[in-house]
């Protein structure tokens, strides 16, 4: 196989987290007297970490101190409710099992808080992932689109970054993979459209986990 490891984004790639994210954002906004947002608004704003999600969700002109307070309320609430409605996308566990059976090491890399990433990975993909890496800027690992999390995952797997494929659903993933020197597989079942991904420079697209599996294992099907 061309790649020695596969790294997956989490939100919109392996897990459909949108409803839990939207519910948590709306609870946080309500707590501070701000208007609610639709599911589609959350979809468009996810991908750059929790703070950026809230920055895009609060009314224009909200100051940084207020955003800090909302974030401090949001993070523990979301962590406690991050699995209320979250589920793997159909075909993702089977994809991971097929790759693992071929001896291909797997990781999840996300801009979610590191604790939440590890918890959700353990719940939904037990025994399938060698590494799960989340946002940990306090620990010196900057969130995407900095390539730090991808480098951290590749290093933990013992694989050179250029020998990994990064699988994601957003323009942030395309940019992060490029900065890490990795090829990027852009999936079309997630939170961004093909047009948005194409505009971001994506070149390799997959409509289903099965199509990605066939590409990776070179079955020719």
Closest by CA to 129, choosing from 21, 30, 14, is 14
Please report, for residues 61, 69, 73, the alpha-carbon distance to residue 8 in angstroms, rounded to integers and kept in the order given: 35, 31, 28
In angstroms, the CA 177 to CA 91 distance is 23
Residues with Cβ within 8 Å of 198's Cβ and at least 6 positions away in sequence, in order, are none
Indicate the SS3 state at residue 151. Answer: helix
The set of catalytic residues is: 9
Cis peptide before 12 (omega within 30 of 0): no
């Amino acid at each position: 196989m061309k790649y020695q490891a596969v790294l997956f984004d989490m939100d919109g790639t392996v897990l459909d987290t949108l409803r839990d994210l939207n519910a948590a954002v709306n609870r946080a906004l309500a707590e501070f007297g701000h208007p609610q947002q639709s599911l589609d608004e959350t979809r468009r704003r996810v991908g750059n970490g929790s703070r950026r999600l809230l920055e895009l969700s609060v009314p224009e002109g909200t100051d940084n101190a207020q955003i800090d307070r909302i974030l401090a309320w949001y993070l523990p609430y979301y962590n406690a409710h991050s699995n209320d409605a979250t589920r793997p996308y159909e075909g993702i566990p089977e994809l991971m099992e097929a790759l693992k059976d071929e001896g291909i090491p797997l990781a999840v890399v996300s801009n979610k808080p590191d604790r939440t990433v590890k918890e959700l990975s353990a719940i939904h993909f037990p025994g399938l992932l060698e590494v799960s890496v989340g946002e940990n800027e306090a620990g010196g690992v900057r969130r995407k689109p900095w390539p730090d999390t991808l480098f951290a995952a590749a290093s933990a797997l013992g694989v050179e970054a250029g020998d990994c494929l990064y699988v994601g659903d957003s323009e942030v993933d395309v940019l992060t993979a490029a900065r890490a020197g990795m090829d990027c597989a852009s999936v079309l079942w997630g939170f961004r459209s093909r047009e948005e991904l194409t505009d971001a420079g994506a070149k390799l697209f997959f409509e289903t986990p099965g199509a990605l599996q066939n590409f990776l294992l070179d079955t020719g099907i």
